Structure 1
Amino acid sequence: METREHSATAGPDVAPPVLTRIPARMDRLPWSRFHWLVVVALGITWIFDGLEVTLKGAISGVLQEPGTLHFTSAEIGSITSFYLAGAVSGSLIFGYLTDRLGRSLFFFVTLAVYLCGAFLTAFSWNLWSFILFRFITGMGIGGEYAAINSAIDELVPARLRGRIDLIVNGSYWIGAAIGAASTVILLDPAIFPVDVGWRVGFGVGAVLSLFILFLRRHVPESPRWLVIHGRSDEAERIVSGIEGQIEKETGATLEEPEETLAIHPRKSFGFGVIIRGMFTLYPKRSLLGLSLMVSQAFLYNAIFFTYALILTRFYHVPAGKTGLYLLPFALGNFCGPLVLGRFFDTIGRRQMIAGTYTVSALLLALTGYLFTVDLLTPFSQTALWTVIFFFASAAASSAYLTVSEIFPMETRALAIAFFYSLGTGAGGVVAPWLFGTLIGTGSRMAVFYGYLAAVVLMLAAAVIEIRIGVKAERISLEKVAEPLSAKK
């Protein structure tokens, strides 16, 4: 239960302090059906993104055919840029609104935006309609990242937060694998006409999101968010309901934690307060988040968006078969967080983040060298990429985990959005352009220099993690970063 103390220092928008046990009560919960609901209903976002990005890449060739929308190569590139611009815009806009208005509202808003964008994409009739609808789809996906990651962190017990975040973020590659495999059917002219199959793919994504919208009705607002916004009674009802369900499910009575937190609730927090919380109070953490996000995004997008070019240009793999090489690549990416995730909660964040970044970098340097001296086949090249991203996927997921837990509650969604936007800008724009240019030279050494740039960024991020990384394993979010509302 919550108790109130009167304070002469409370301003007109600040209520008297509240002593709450809600964070401790949420963190001491055993894993239950409620937590599975949270993971499935909210974590599906990453699968959708993987499906969208992979499907769009796979149908690029089809969209250039006269029987479809007949885009040029330059127009295909512009579509990707607008999708990324939508993702950046959506993450920043919805990230700010999520911190201000609550997590649960934007569970539905962002998914509804994605649904509309994907559905409308299936009915595109020219370049500008396709660009507009992809921009809308990107806004939904970008907004989902901010709303969903912040909510998952606040609803999952502290002792499991690391592994759950990594597995959820790594599920992007389930979507990527589904997208790659589905093209075998969607792009087969014997099954679908050339201008129908790709439309069906986007339409299926929209239909699936309708089911997830229904499922999210059962996910409550974050009790932590409610408390700091002066809605303690509502937070109490939600937590008591969750506890009752778990006690009924397990047959055991939950012990009441002794730890309390004093909160000065406010109905809203100005943009200046949020920015100050991110950069004035925690400048080193901002540097940490920036280095982790940009380096992993550069590495990922450098290879993911150009792997088909490598296979066709240097190994002479037919363009129509490059999608099959993505399947083991995607498997390695998902298995990394799945296998290594628990060690981020047991061995520790700093050790595992620095370790996965370092191993990824060293393996990339070795692979780049073997590629340069022409000792690889398309199969061994793919096998090495798979091993690299077994570790790199855990590293990338840990970057999202880091920025979602090292800033105060009031800034969490916007922090995720901000660093996601920087990573998307650096990795989504610079890396594919750079590597596309290097591959275009036909020089293996030129490509190797690009790999070395990614190696340097990853190693630099590992060093920064070692120096200023935050100990967050098995620790309450409120101890990792004290809420701004806990300060008088």
Structure 2
Amino acid sequence: MAGVETGTITTDIPARMDRLPWARWHWLVVIGLGTVWILDGLEVTIVGSMSEALKPEDTGLGLSSSDIGLAGAMYVAGACIGALFFGQLTDRFGRKKLFLITLGVYTVATVLTAFSMNPTWYFACRFLTGMGIGGEYAAINSAIDELIPAKYRGRVDVAINGSFWVGAALGSLLTIPLLDPNVVDPSWGWRAAFGLGAILAVGILVVRRHVPESPRWLFIHEREDEAEDIVRDIEHTVEEETGKHLHGVDQTITIRQRKTISLPLIAKTVFTMYPRRTILCFSLFVGQAFLYNAFFFTYGDTLSTFLGVEQTGWYLAIFAASNFVGALVLSPLFDTVGRVRMIAGTYILSGVLLAVAGTMLGGLTAVTLTLFGAVIFFFASAGASAAYLTASEIFPMETRALCIAFFYAIGTAAGGITGPLLFGRLIDSASEDGDITGIAIGYFIGAALMIVGGIVEIFLGVKAEGQSLEDIAQPLTAEDQPADDQSAERSRA
């Protein structure tokens, strides 16, 4: 770190973090922070897989298909509110404090869900669980981006967000024995499924305690000495693990330090400084949220209601595996082929394929519907994961967590709450006639929103691959910050 003035510092910490080679230390970050998406996938899939187990009055909670959709909407509503609430706190009090707190909220709420005594209790617990997960999205995405080198940021973000489907596959397979009345009492199987999520969360918490605070957050909030100590420790660890001597850097940034950043300044940043990026993120989040929440929250219900599937776990596991493989296989291309091409391509292709599936819905079986979904979401998974990557890297550092939370909340509220409610009603209505084509309208809406998101990416996307976060969007506290999108683009050229 270079000379320090009163309230102003010139630091080389961002450049030092970005020049690090990949080492085992980075895997600690990935495992400690990224595994939260496994929890989210576990939660969503358990609910989708056990929709039938929750319907009986004696062993379940007496829920209808509409109630299943409502529970999904409550979970997403909690996630939206939790993202906004904890996102603001993450930018104000630091990444580490909040990613420990939000994981604690999730764990407690999941345990309480397992003890649900009636639908009202269950809905309330789903809301609280969603709050914890929503807070995690804001805290974790911002921390990961600030700790992972620029060269690897795209592939790591996409792959980590795609790990949601590891949890989804795990949840699907777990429900097979847990919902088998010959193995587990039906009144206890679905409760045990929720309890397993809490056990996994405790294991993640143990690892997460060793992940440091973001040095980028620290030096902006007048804690530059602590930031310097953390970076030196990281550099020493990486040198030991790789056997490579780290070269010096000559790129610095001058920061006017602040203890807090006001909400009006954050709002001004999002809506006036970067209006095109705001439209971009909104389009990406609405498309992927409606697609996933509408389709996946009620996928198990669709299989059992229209296609005669009694045990949906195997189908959901295949679907989930395709999603994860898609994110894992395609993730390196977001750093090489580029963000704009990959996001636009995955959004438009998955949207077109979903529309085709909607026109063929009446002729699909449980197997062919699952295979169709596996192909569609092989591409959609990588694109949807890139929506979180986009929101987490194209806005200034001081607003990163809240920007992630804002777009997650707005996009998810538009697509993730209305989606499950719409599909729940469509299933209830179509089931009266036994006609699966009654839910095709939901497929067409999701397809249209994904295609629109891809088109918006073509015109407004940011070529962020390989660039430092500070070059993509200068911190609000940096000297000579750009005034708008155009000057930001010029400053990177």
Deviation track 1:106-160 (CA, whole Å, cap 9, x = no partner) reads 1210011111111122222233333332222111111101000100000000011
TM-score (norm 1): 0.93
User: Residue 312 of structure 1: CA displacement?
Assistant: 4.1
* 1:380-419 matches, cutoff 5 A: 380-419=368-407
Contact 1:311-1:322 at 8 Å conserved across structures = yes
Contact 1:69-1:127 at 8 Å conserved across structures = no
Match of 1:326 in 2: 316
Match of 2:325 in 1: 335
Amino acid corresponding to residue 22 of structure 2 in structure 1: W
In 2, the alpha carbon distance for the partners of 1:454 and 1:33 equals: 40
Amino acid corresponding to residue 3 of structure 1 in structure 2: G
- RMSD over aligned Cα atoms: 1.8
Match of 2:54 in 1: 63
Runs of 5+ consecutive residues of structure 2 not aligned to the other structure: 481-493
Match of 1:426 in 2: 414
Deviation track 1:131-190 (CA, whole Å, cap 9, x = no partner) reads 332222111111101000100000000011011000100011111111111011111223
Matched, 1:251 2:243: yes
Greater Cα offset, 121-130 or 218-227: 121-130
User: Residue 83 of structure 1: CA displacement?
Assistant: 2.0
One of 466, 472, 484 as aligned partner of 1:474: 466
Structure-2 change in CA distance of 1:449 and 1:59 (3 Å): closer
Deviation track 1:198-242 (CA, whole Å, cap 9, x = no partner) reads 222222211221121111111000000011111111100000000
Matched, 1:349 2:332: no
Deviation track 1:407-455 (CA, whole Å, cap 9, x = no partner) reads 1101110111111112221222222333344453455665444323222
Match of 1:3 in 2: 3
3-state secondary structure, aligned to 1:18: strand
Match of 1:51 in 2: 42
3-state secondary structure, aligned to 2:463: coil
Structure-2 change in CA distance of 1:262 and 1:274 (3 Å): same
Amino acid corresponding to residue 29 of structure 1 in structure 2: L
In 1, the alpha carbon distance for the partners of 2:457 and 2:174 equals: 39
Matched, 1:297 2:289: yes
In 2, the alpha carbon distance for the partners of 1:365 and 1:89 equals: 31
Greater Cα offset, 125-134 or 409-418: 125-134
Deviation track 1:304-332 (CA, whole Å, cap 9, x = no partner) reads 13333443455x323x2233211211111
Greater Cα offset, 108-117 or 58-67: 58-67
Amino acid corresponding to residue 335 of structure 1 in structure 2: V
Deviation track 1:325-368 (CA, whole Å, cap 9, x = no partner) reads 11211111001110010010011101111111111122222222
Matched, 1:371 2:361: yes
Match of 1:240 in 2: 232
3-state secondary structure, aligned to 1:19: strand
Match of 2:446 in 1: 454
Structure-2 change in CA distance of 1:127 and 1:452 (3 Å): closer
One of 130, 146, 149 as aligned partner of 1:157: 149
Contact 1:69-1:125 at 8 Å conserved across structures = no
3-state secondary structure, aligned to 1:262: strand
In 2, the alpha carbon distance for the partners of 1:451 and 1:260 equals: 49
Deviation track 1:71-94 (CA, whole Å, cap 9, x = no partner) reads 231544443332222211111100
3-state secondary structure, aligned to 2:56: coil
Structure-2 change in CA distance of 1:175 and 1:365 (3 Å): same
Contact 2:51-2:300 at 8 Å conserved across structures = no
In 2, the alpha carbon distance for the partners of 1:389 and 1:324 equals: 17
Q: Identity rate of aligned residues, in percent?
A: 54
One of 66, 78, 82 as aligned partner of 1:90: 82
3-state secondary structure, aligned to 1:253: coil
Contact 2:55-2:62 at 8 Å conserved across structures = yes
User: Residue 29 of structure 1: CA displacement?
Assistant: 0.4
